[in-house]
């Protein structure tokens, strides 16, 4: 059995265990496999092990990979999620080639994605990225601005606002790690109470998925636990 297949099984088991301890239905938690820096063959190996949803951070790398897989393995029906920082002049290929975008953090980007989403495709699924740990260096809207931006996004015709995404700072222990995820969940509840129809909390990576699931994650984004350590040879 390939290492990728083995790691995928182990991660799925970790998700099941975390759901059990949180007394949650595991079917409410989707695994997004983050394939940035790993090649098309790695994605294909994961797809052959039953994984359909993949996340990418770097646009050119992602487009090359999507095209390669499309050309060599048209039998694989994959779902692509863009999860990296977005430059406003690069929105068109994102609108054309992805099913989801988790890293929308301002209205201008959302407007462009809506305008550029091809008419023959379904609306683009969107998560609003929130700067939940208050880190100046990180992208994401401030929690105080989230409602206004979310309302603006939900009015755009070619987008479907699904929920919130965050990348909290790493914390020393499980209890501390859970705090920012709990804050994101509270913000999500607040937006729903204000009338927004949201169903997605995109939170949790290889190191903190257990804490995120305990606090209500509906999508965990997992890379290194499946493909191994990344090397940024750019």
Ligand X SMILES: *Cc1c(COP(=O)(O)O)cnc(C)c1O
- Name the site residues for ligand X (rule: CB under 6 A): 34, 36, 57, 83, 167, 205-207, 221-225
For residues 67 and 86, the answer to whether their CB atoms sit within 8 Å is no
Q: How far is the CB of 228 from ligand X (least distance, A)?
A: 9
Backbone angle region of 76, left / alpha / beta, with phi > 0 → left and psi within -120 to 50 → alpha: beta
113 or 167: whose CB is closer to ligand X?
Answer: 167
Report how far residue 219's alpha carbon sits from residue 205's, in angstroms, rounded to the nearest whole number: 10
Count of residues in the chain? 234
Q: How far is the CB of 195 from ligand X (least distance, A)?
A: 28
6 or 72: whose CB is closer to ligand X?
Answer: 6
69 or 217: whose CB is closer to ligand X?
Answer: 217
Residue 140 per-residue DSSP state = S
3-state secondary structure of 76: coil
153 or 217: whose CB is closer to ligand X?
Answer: 217
Q: How far is the CB of 193 from ligand X (least distance, A)?
A: 27
For ligand X, the nearest residue by Cβ is 223
Q: How far is the CB of 217 from ligand X (least distance, A)?
A: 12
9 or 206: whose CB is closer to ligand X?
Answer: 206
Q: How far is the CB of 225 from ligand X (least distance, A)?
A: 6
Q: How far is the CB of 118 from ligand X (least distance, A)?
A: 25
Q: What are phi and psi of 197, to 5 degrees?
A: -90, 90
83 or 113: whose CB is closer to ligand X?
Answer: 83
Q: How far is the CB of 163 from ligand X (least distance, A)?
A: 15
Residue with tokens 């949803």: 53
For residues 113 and 138, the answer to whether their CB atoms sit within 8 Å is no
| Residue 141: C-alpha distances to residues 14, 16, 32, 133 (Å) | 30, 31, 22, 11
Concatenated DSSP letters of 199-229: -EEE---TTTHHHHHHTT-SEEEE-HHHH--
Report how far residue 9's alpha carbon sits from residue 52's, in angstroms, rounded to the nearest whole number: 14
- How far, in whole angstroms, is CA 186 from its chain's centroid? 19
74 or 172: whose CB is closer to ligand X?
Answer: 172
């Amino acid at each position: 059995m390939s290492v990728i297949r083995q790691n995928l099984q182990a991660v799925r088991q970790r998700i099941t265990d975390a759901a059990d301890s949180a007394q949650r239905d595991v079917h409410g938690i989707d695994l997004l496999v983050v394939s940035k820096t790993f090649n098309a063959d790695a994605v294909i190996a994961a797809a052959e092990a039953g994984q359909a949803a993949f996340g990418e951070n770097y646009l050119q790398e992602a487009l090359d990979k999507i095209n390669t897989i499309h050309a060599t393995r048209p039998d694989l029906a994959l779902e692509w999620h863009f999860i990296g920082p977005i430059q406003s002049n690069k929105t068109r290929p994102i609108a054309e080639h992805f099913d989801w975008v988790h890293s929308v953090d301002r209205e201008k980007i959302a407007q462009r994605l809506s305008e550029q989403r091809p008419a023959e495709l379904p609306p683009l699924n969107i998560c609003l990225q929130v700067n939940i740990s208050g880190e100046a260096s990180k992208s994401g809207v401030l929690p105080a601005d989230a409602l206004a931006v979310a309302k603006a996004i939900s009015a755009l015709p070619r987008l479907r606002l699904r929920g919130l995404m965050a990348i909290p700072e790493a914390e020393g222990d499980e209890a501390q790690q859970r705090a920012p995820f709990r804050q994101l969940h509270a913000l999500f509840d607040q937006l729903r109470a204000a009338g927004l129809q949201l169903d997605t909390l995109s939170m949790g990576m290889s190191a903190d998925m257990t804490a995120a699931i305990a606090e209500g994650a509906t999508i965990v984004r997992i890379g290194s636990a499946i493909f191994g350590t990344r090397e940024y040879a750019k």
